[in-house]
């Protein structure tokens, strides 16, 4: 493959440069530690202990101190000790022959992240686009991104869907590229694994209070610890309330979230856990934004202007429950079975402009819409992992099966409200809209999977995996009248392979190559109503990774190519049908550095270069096929902690998020950069405060580029004060 040729030529140089740079960094860090601080000793979790003047959350209970632990809370690190979304058991990121990133609890807290969108906006290679109604859609490598919750995949669970407050999660794991081995059918952009906080084995209480611009108030409480004398029963409760008057006039976003978790040691080898959460999100006066003027130019009102009436509203109520049974056998094999359920009820009544704005009168045709959507997800994953000895070496195996079901019932009603001046949206009267259409949808997916990490030699590992998947999707109308169920896709057995090779150049540095297939059902039909076969294709990826200072500094470089084939295109012989004849290609490069360069210096930095084009498409030629994803992205967040001297306890830092041009249908937005600054001070081991200035230079930009429908302005300059209390 052409993409790999330059890698073969430059791999020795890259490896030598990589090794030299990282070894030098590690040496500087080691010298700095020796000169300025006592030597770190291993903690119960196998990570260095924090300095005496810092606050560390209690470690989550583990079975063995020398094993990899993926829990990020309490490590005070931006780098992850391990991840669980690849292989089900904790695996070091260096040993995975694919691109993996983690947003740890420490970075969430440092950057005041409160939503899944916040975390993914500052994750390597991910583009998060604000939809305007409190939801977001996510892109990676030119494609949509999927979702897992504690390792349980759920179809249609993240795109345009509300999510729980980030306070309930320990970390956000991101796998980029086709993830059919883990998730089955889906877009080849990757998958996100949201991993919940679990109870700790020592008492801890935390409070976080934030006050921001425009009238943004947030309070978070978190308490955890043992619930009996033996410590075999542990609990956790997290409560969040937020009342946010956003930068848009008349838009108020409130939510209340409560999360609880219990863990019980049935025996020294068996643990049972239950967790659940509820969240209510009333959103008032939300705005989808104006479309373009009919001459193709964008509407240039002030950033804070709201183009929708103040009676727009959306009420979202979410509940979820999770149960996990894990067991460690006497031969160190481990089993884990997870049950997951999520329910979302969304009710909304709103008006929006579309079809263009008259440049002479500033009028646009407004549509009124009423919706009621109920989503129920059920997921089950059961797996078994362990090691076997063969040919004088030890190999790791994982075997498992999972099932997922999504049931959706949606009702909608529409009304043409007429033409109104977009600068006077409150002139639009609130209509009384009846439901005129209703549809039920049912998506099911099941699969069995296996993965083996085969040790070919001391430094060389072969990773082989495969999944046998089944997928079905059907729908039924029930308004204005009931109809029969119609199956839009049904695949009973589809094999999705994965293979990778990891070569350890040193104990800290590894290079890899991997290959995986694509399996993505599509809803288009032939001229006679037959479903098209799924999109297929493959991804080739190669790269080099580093893991230094006991997992506290990690780096990676990846090159990839995705060939996407059998895409639906217009049937040249039948004007009303489609054929599976389209092709697309996505090529790119990703760089990441994450962790502690020095004991007092935290950093996350990434760069992404992406080219995603059609390949001789009969309609689009060789044009870009994902215009909303920038060709280049650069992301940086860093903090410097002063230790000793007059500035002891202070910290300063900030971040930059920059991207190249993007467009959506008819209009292009040039590249831009957003700069944030932060200063903080730790008064003592219990009290900390920080002040963050976001969008320092008040950059005017679109969070969603305007088109014939909708646009979203980005948030202007704002400030956030956060006070944290820990006991």
Give the residue extent of every domain in the chain. Answer: 2-726
Q: For residue 48, give the DSSP letter.
A: B
- Structure tokens, 378: 């059920």
> 521: closest CA among 499, 536, 539?
536
- pLDDT recorded at residue 529: 76
- pLDDT recorded at residue 284: 96
In percent, how much of the chain has pLDDT > 70?
Answer: 91
| CA 514 to chain CA mean position, Å | 22
- Structure tokens, 667: 């209009």
Q: Compare 421 and 50 and report the one with higher pLDDT.
A: 421
Per-residue pLDDT tens for 35-72? 333 333 333 333 334 444 444 444 444 434 446 889 99
- The whole-angstrom separation of Cα 404 and Cα 480 is 30
Per-residue pLDDT tens for 173-217? 999 999 988 888 888 999 999 999 999 999 999 999 999 999 999
Rounded to an integer, the average pLDDT of 635-653 is 97
Summary mean pLDDT of the chain: 89
For residue 518, pLDDT over 50 is answered with yes
For residue 357, pLDDT over 90 is answered with yes
- pLDDT recorded at residue 551: 87
For residue 17, pLDDT over 70 is answered with no
In this structure, CATH architecture of domain 2-726: Beta Barrel (2.40)
- pLDDT recorded at residue 45: 33
- pLDDT recorded at residue 18: 37
Residue 172 and residue 192 in contact, taking contact as beta carbons nearer than 8 Å: yes
- pLDDT recorded at residue 57: 46
- The whole-angstrom separation of Cα 67 and Cα 87 is 15
| 635 — pLDDT class (breaks 50, 70, 90) | very high
Residue 592 and residue 606 in contact, taking contact as beta carbons nearer than 8 Å: yes
Per-residue pLDDT tens for 238-252? 999 999 999 999 999
For residue 102, pLDDT over 80 is answered with yes
- pLDDT recorded at residue 608: 98
Residue 138 and residue 158 in contact, taking contact as beta carbons nearer than 8 Å: yes
| 94 — pLDDT class (breaks 50, 70, 90) | very high
- pLDDT recorded at residue 376: 98
For residue 695, pLDDT over 80 is answered with yes
């Amino acid at each position: 493959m052409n993409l790999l040729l330059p890698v073969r030529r430059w791999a020795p140089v890259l490896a030598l440069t990589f090794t030299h740079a990282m070894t030098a960094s590690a040496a500087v860090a080691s010298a700095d530690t020796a000169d300025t601080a006592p030597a770190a000793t291993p903690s119960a979790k196998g990570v260095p202990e924090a300095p005496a003047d810092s606050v560390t959350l209690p470690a989550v209970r583990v079975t063995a101190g020398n094993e990899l632990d993926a829990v990020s809370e309490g490590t005070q690190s931006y780098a992850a000790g391990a991840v669980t979304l690849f292989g089900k058991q904790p695996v070091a990121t260096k040993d995975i022959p694919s691109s993996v990133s983690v947003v740890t609890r420490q970075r969430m807290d440092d950057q005041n992240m409160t939503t899944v969108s916040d975390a993914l906006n500052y994750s390597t290679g991910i583009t998060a686009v604000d939809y305007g109604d409190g939801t977001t859609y996510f892109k990676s490598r030119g494609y949509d991104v999927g979702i897992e919750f504690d390792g349980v995949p759920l179809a249609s669970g993240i795109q345009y869907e509300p999510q729980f407050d980030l306070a309930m999660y320990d970390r956000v794991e991101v796998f980029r590229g086709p993830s059919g081995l883990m998730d089955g059918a889906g877009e080849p952009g990757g998958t996100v694994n949201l991993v919940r906080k679990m109870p700790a084995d020592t008492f801890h209480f935390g409070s976080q209070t934030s006050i921001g611009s425009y009238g943004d108030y947030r309070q978070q409480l978190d308490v955890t610890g043992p619930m009996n004398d033996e410590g075999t029963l542990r609990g956790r409760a997290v409560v969040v309330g937020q009342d946010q008057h956003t930068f848009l006039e008349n838009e108020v976003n409130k939510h209340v979230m409560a999360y609880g978790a219990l863990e019980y040691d049935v025996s020294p080898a068996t643990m049972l856990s239950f967790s659940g959460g509820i969240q209510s999100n009333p959103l008032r006066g939300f705005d989808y934004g104006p479309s373009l003027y009919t001459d193709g130019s964008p509407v240039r009102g002030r950033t804070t202007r709201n183009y929708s009436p103040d009676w727009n509203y959306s009420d979202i109520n979410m509940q979820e429950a999770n149960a996990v049974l894990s067991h460690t056998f006497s031969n160190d094999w481990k089993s884990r079975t997870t049950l997951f359920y999520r329910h979302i009820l969304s009710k909304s009544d709103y008006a929006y402009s579309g079809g263009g704005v008259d440049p002479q009168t500033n009028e646009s045709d407004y549509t009124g819409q009423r919706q009621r959507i109920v989503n129920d997800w059920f997921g089950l994953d059961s797996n078994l992992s362990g090691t076997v000895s063969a040919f004088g070496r030890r190999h790791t195996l994982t075997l498992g099966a999972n099932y997922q079901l999504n049931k959706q019932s949606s009702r909608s009603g529409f009304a043409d409200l007429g033409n109104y001046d977009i600068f006077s949206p409150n002139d639009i009267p609130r209509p009384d809209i009846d439901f005129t259409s209703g549809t039920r949808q049912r998506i099911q997916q099941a699969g069995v999977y296996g993965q083996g990490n085969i040790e070919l030699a001391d430094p060389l590992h072969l990773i082989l995996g495969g999944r046998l998947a089944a997928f079905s999707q059907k729908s039924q109308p029930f308004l204005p009248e009931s109809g029969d169920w119609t199956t839009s896709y049904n695949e009973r057995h589809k094999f999705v392979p994965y293979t990778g090779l990891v070569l350890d150049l040193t104990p800290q540095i590894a290079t890899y190559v991997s290959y995986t297939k694509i399996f993505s059902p599509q809803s288009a039909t032939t001229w006679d109503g037959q479903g098209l076969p799924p999109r297929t294709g493959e991804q080739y990826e190669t790269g080099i990774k580093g893991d230094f200072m006991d997992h506290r500094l990690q780096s990676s470089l990846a090159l990839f190519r995705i060939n996407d084939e059998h895409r639906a295109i217009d049937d040249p012989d039948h004007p009303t049908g489609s054929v599976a004849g389209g092709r697309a290609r996505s090529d790119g490069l990703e760089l990441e550095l994450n962790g502690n360069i020095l004991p007092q210096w935290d950093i996350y930095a990434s760069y992404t270069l992406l080219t995603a084009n059609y390949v001789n498409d009969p309609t689009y030629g060789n044009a870009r096929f994902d215009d909303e994803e920038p060709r280049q992205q650069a992301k940086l967040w860093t903090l410097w902690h002063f230790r000793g001297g007059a500035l002891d306890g202070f910290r300063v830092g900030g971040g930059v998020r920059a991207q190249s041009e993007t467009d959506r249908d008819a209009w292009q937005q040039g590249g831009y950069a957003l700069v944030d600054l932060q200063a903080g001070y730790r008064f003592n081991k219990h009290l900390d405060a920080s002040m963050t200035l976001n969008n320092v230079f008040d950059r005017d930009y679109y969070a969603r580029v305007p088109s014939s429908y909708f646009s979203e302005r980005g948030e202007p300059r704002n400030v956030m004060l956060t006070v944290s209390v820990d006991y």
